[in-house]
Each structure stands twice: as C-alpha cells, then as structure tokens.
A and B are shown apart, each in its own frame.
Chain A
Amino acid sequence: MPQSLFQKVWQAHSVGQLASGQTQLLIGTHLIHEVTSPQAFGMLRDLGLKVAMPHRTFATVDHIVPTDQRSEPFSDPLADAMIKELRKNCAAHGITYFDLASGRQGIVHMVGPEQGITQPGTTIACGDSHTSTHGAFGAIALGIGTSQVRDVLATQTIALGPLKVRRINVEGRLRPGVYAKDVILHIIRTLGVNGGTGFAYEYGGEVFDRFSMEERMTVCNMSIEGGARVGYVNPDETTFTYLKGRPYSPTGAAWDEAVVRWRATASDAGCHYDDVVTLQGADIPPTVTWGINPGQGIAITETIPDPAKATAADEKASIVEALAYMKLTAGAPIKGTKIDVAFLGSCTNARLSDFKEVAKYLKGHRVAPGVKAIAVPGSQMVGRLCAELGIDRVFRDAGFEWREAGCSMCLAMNPDKLVGDQLCASSSNRNFKGRQGSPTGRTLLMSPLMVAAAAVAGGVADAREIFGVNN
C-alpha cells in the first residue's frame, strides 16, 4: 500500500503501544535550549535518571541572549542564570552545546538545519513550538512541553497519539514580490488558526517543488500558527543539495546510502491523505496581519476588516477585540499605517536568503526618520555569511541596526522589546497581545521585504511599489 512520509516515519520510530492507546515514539534527534530545559533536567535529577542518548541531543542558547552587548555576566541576572544552567547541564550529561563562543550558536531551529543535524526521515523534538520548521527536510518535527523534554532526555521517546495528514498543494507560480511568508500567512488565513488541529500538514505542489530549503522552512515554521502539530515537505534533490557537506551530514559511502534512504521516505504516489487542499500560487498576495492572531491577515491592498460586516457573532467579537487592542480603524486601508519599529529576524525569516533578498532592494534607501529598524541574523553562521557578502553594510548604510544572533524581538525574553504601544512591522511569526515585550505593544506580521518597505516608508507599504519589484 502506498504510504505518506508521515506514516513511514511514524512506523519506523514506533516503539510500541502504551496503555493509553498512544504510541511510544522514538525521537531520533533532541534539540534543547535554555528556556524549556532547566526544569526538565531538574525533574531528571529528582528521579535519579541519566540522559538516554546524549549523542543524539544538541543544545544552543537563543531566547535570552542579548543581541548587542554580549559580554558575560549578562546585565539581566535571570538570563545569566539560565545560560549558566544550560552550560552546566550539557557538561554534566555530555551533550553537544553550541555556545556563544562556538561560532555556531543561533536560534535552535536554524542551527539544526545549517549543521546538517536535521535530516529527512527522522523524528525531531524540541521544547519549542516552532520545531515544525525542521519538517522542511521531510522529518516529523514536534514541539513538546517540558515534561516531554524530560521524557526524551530520560528515554529518547514520547507518548503521542497519531495524526491525520492534510496535503496542501500550492500550484502554479507566485507573483513577483510574493514570498514564502505570504504563502503561509495566506494558508493560515484560509484554513484558520485552528484549522490544522489533529493534522500533520504535508506541503507540496509546484510552488514547493521550486522553493529553496530556506523558503520551505519559513512555511513549515508557521504550521503551528495554523494549528497543525507538524508540517513537512517531502525530501527531494533540493533537500539533498542543501545537506551535502554540512558538519553533521553523512560523508562518502554513508552519504550515498543516506540519500537512497531519504528518497524512499517521501510520500508514495497515490498514498491516502485525510484531506487535500489546493491553492493557486497566483492568488496569493503580499499579506499583512492587522489583528492579534496570525490568521487575521489581509492583502496589502485591502482594508482593515469592519466588524459591522462580519456575519458570524464570533467573528464580529474577535474583530472588535483585535481592533481595540491594535488601535486600528475598521475599513481603513492597512497601507499607510504608521509604524514605530521594523524587526527583521526570528526563526521564520532570519536566514541568509531573507537578508540577501532584502539587501538587493534596500541599497540606496534610508529608514524613515523616527523608525527604529533592527536586523538580527538567526544564527552566527548567517551573520558571518552576511558579513562576507557585505549584506550587513547594506543594512547599516540604510539605517538598520545590525545585531548578533538570537530570538531578539520575536518575544520578550531579552533586552529587545517594544515600548508602550509601539507598532512593529515584523518578520516573526506571532502577533499575540504583548508578544514583543510590551503588554500593549502591537505587531504586524509580514515578509522580510515588506518589513524593509515599511521601514523605508515609515508605515505599512507595498514593497512592490517602494522598491519597484517587477509586477
């Protein structure tokens, strides 16, 4: 019987059935970071247990690290305690740790792929919901809670019920100025923020076939915002080319064997999907969120929704709540909404191709007066590559602050935060109330080029117009 990648990988990693009816699933690769692991190590100590597979466990530090002043001790004693605790736990258990001095530190979802740790046909877990990013390589990549981090540390397994698989095809081509970020914002807008509940999302179709690994990662990253537990793309030549020669990729004969194996994990033609959704690439506009969840997005050319026009009572209430928080006006165009901050970073969009694409257009432009613009490479490796290519210069010359690798302003755990009710054009993945560090801070999610356009225009703008992207 033809099988989907999800079924194949699930079966290969099934250890057995638990009394609850759930599956004991083997986790091939465990990624850990400083926020969700210390309590798990504490539980391990309380139970007198050791780490089952330290050689399959990899750590880095991302959420709490400052992106400007990196000397230790950090000015925030809590952050300082967290990095020290991670170091201590990794050393005590023999876990590979990409520390600040390694040159390989970064957001955990960037480090796995760029080190070649993230591989097709594997299971990956991390105490972080955006673990779905790694699905871009054809892995089942699961975000887990701290008790499950403990489970993986102690047993290299978790208890999990099966998922259904929804195939999402995006056919045809994207229009100029439309990016992977727009694709996923559009998918979430179409299927809803909880449309994916109970599902693994398998992304495919011509648009994904043509996508680079980095673009696939952007989409898989936000699967969780669509309610899906995991998202993935079947591995193909693009995947193998990306992985070849990375530090943890197999070499020599082992590489050839691995590629044969990886190819075989892709979904078989004619396999069963529990649901299939097909979208046309040409229908996807540059998309911007206006509300307080990632499904509240509109095309850059649209106006802010009017609760008076909402049909369902639910929808009306959520528009009213979102507009009140966002201080936006129903029916007004989103274009021209004044911004205070532009943030280009996060595990959604802080890879080399993101900065490269923006730099292509940003040359010769200046950040508008009064706008604070920061560009934060997602990993030290991306930072280095940008420096080698002179990309950091382009950003600096335009008036962006160019920072060191970390989660930065994606969430409120390091010094990069919104202040008061500042409005931020952000390439990150969450626009929840207070997400960017101020309880009244406001976030508009969009593609990196749209963030740059907003920075230059001083307000939400159509990147195609600002930069003359060919239409």
Chain B
Amino acid sequence: MALAKITSITGRGLTVPGNDIDTDRIIPARFLKAVTFDGLGEGLFFDARKAIADAGRIHPLDDSRFHGAKILLSGANFGCGSSREHAPQAIQKFGFRAVIAESYAEIFFGNSTTMGLACVSADRADIARLAAAIEADPYLEITVDLVGREVRFGGQRIPLTMRDSARDALVHGRWDSIGELLDGREAVAATAARLPYLAAPQK
C-alpha cells in the first residue's frame, strides 16, 4: 500500500484551549451510533460548540475567521478517555491535518498516527505564543515541519517534539502499518505455534 509521505503540513490554525480534553468532548458518544465514520466531522466538539453558542458566544470551530483551518492547537493530555478512533476521525474529517498540543493521551496519539493525522507536541509557552499570533491574524500561515522538527509562522519558529517512531512513520509514508503487519504472516504463525493457548482451537 503506497501511503503519502507526510513531511510537513501548512495551513491556518485555530485553538481549542484547555487541558485534559477527553474524547467524549471531542466527539460525544451519540455520534458513535453508526456503522461507518462518514459525516463525523459535524459532531466535532458538538456539545461544547452548542453550549458556547447558547451563551451567545462563538466557538473557534464556528468562527468564520478560522474556517478552513488545518492545524488544531490545544493543551496537555489531549484526547484522554475513551479509545474511540471516532475522535481523530472527526478531527480529520473536519479538515484538520495536524494537532499541536502540549501532550497527548496514548491511545489517541496512536489512533491519530495510524490515520496520518500528525500530533506534535510543543512547549506551553510556545503554543501560547502561536495561539496569540493566530488570534491577531487568523489568516496566519503556519507550517508544521516534521522533518525540520519545528513549527514556523510569521517569521518565528518554535521547536516541536514527536515520538521518533511516529514521526518516522509519517515522514516515510508508513503510518498505516497494515501492509507491514500482513507481510509478517509467517512469523505470526510461528509465534502462535509456540503459544499453547493458541495451538488448538478451543471449543
């Protein structure tokens, strides 16, 4: 399977502030009642958007200044909670291609990488600086450079970090491991044969 080599993402950004943003908030469970991932983008942060709209304010996702943003900024432990892949699916289907946050919950990070959604980490102060720059100029062009390990915007640059295995997988176009896993077929059979509980089909 030939996969795109994801070396950098360039586009506009928007910020959903806060720490410990869980996947229930990213995509409320009622949007999981489906047998496909189609149309998930509409459910992204649905309840938070509605609550803010009800209060007479505008959530960044609904703010026309940020329409078409490709890069999502947030805080620490982003994507904690439920393992639902619907969360990164919703983020991707909404149009985002990269997330910049202080840190991620592990399952979310793994799910995102497998889908080719780049989740990079940066320092809190750097993220705040970038967020302020976006607020000042929503049309600011931002580049998340996975090869150069930095985020560039308006003449500034901030370092990004990302687990090597994930960064390499994106950069070399092997973020979806299914092909490689299928190649291991014989080794899988050999490993399984050594494990007594797998040897014979149970009743």
Contacts and interface: CB of A to CB of B under 8 A. Distances in A.
Interface of A: 12-16, 18-22, 24, 26, 28, 35-36, 38-39, 42, 47, 49, 52-53, 55-56, 63-64, 76, 78-79, 81-82, 85, 119, 121-122, 127-129, 143-148, 150-151, 154-161, 193-194, 197-198, 224, 227, 229, 248, 257-258, 261, 293, 314, 317-318, 321, 411-413, 430, 432-435, 437, 439-440
Given A154-B182, A314-B19, A194 B195 contact: no
6 contacts: A12-B194, A12-B195, A79-B33, A150-B178, A229-B107, A434-B24
Contacts of B166: 20
A16 B47 contact: no
Contacts of B47: 433-434, 439
B178 A227 contact: no
B65 interface: no
Contacts of B164: 21
Interface string B65-88: 000000000001100111111101
Contacts of B86: 146
Contacts of B203: 248
B192 A155 contact: no
B125 interface: no
A129 B194 contact: no
B185 A194 contact: no
Contacts of B22: 293, 430, 432-433
A49 B179 CA distance: 12
Given A128-B83, A129-B83, A227-B105, A293 B20 contact: yes
Given A150-B178, A161-B165, A413-B33, A156 B192 contact: yes
A404 to B, nearest CB: 19
Q: Which of B51, B88, B110, B163 has the most CB of A within 10 A?
A: B110
A151 B177 contact: yes
A314 B18 CA distance: 10
Interface of B: 18-20, 22, 24-25, 28-30, 32-37, 47-48, 50-51, 76-77, 80-86, 88, 103, 105-107, 110-111, 114-115, 163-166, 168-169, 172, 174, 176-178, 180-182, 184-185, 187-188, 191-192, 194-198, 201-203
A26 B34 contact: no
Given A229-B107, A434-B28, A155 B181 contact: yes
Contact of A38 (B35, B115, B168): B35
A21 B165 contact: yes
Contacts, number: 206
A470 B188 CA distance: 54
Nearest to A37: B35
A32 to B, nearest CB: 13
A9 B147 CA distance: 35
Given A157-B184, A227-B105, A432-B24, A145 B110 contact: yes
B33 A439 contact: no
A129 B107 contact: yes
B34 A78 contact: yes
Q: Which of B35, B76, B174, B176 has the most CB of A within 10 A?
A: B35
Nearest to A86: B35
A22 B165 contact: yes
Contacts of B176: 147
Contact of B191 (A26, A143, A159, A440): A26
A113 to B, nearest CB: 15
B177 A321 contact: no
B174 A19 contact: yes
Contact of B85 (A36, A81, A198, A411): A36
Q: Which of A15, A78, A435 has the most CB of B within 10 A?
A: A15
Nearest to A192: B77
Contact of B29 (A79, A154, A155, A413): A413
B154 to A, nearest CB: 27
Nearest first, the 9 A-B pairs at minimum CB distance are A145-B111, A145-B85, A38-B35, A129-B83, A439-B47, A146-B85, A78-B33, A55-B201, A159-B177
B167 to A, nearest CB: 10
A89 to B, nearest CB: 10
A64 B33 contact: yes
A143 B83 contact: yes
Contacts of A437: 29-30
A28 B195 contact: yes
Given A13-B191, A193-B77, A258-B197, A430 B182 contact: no
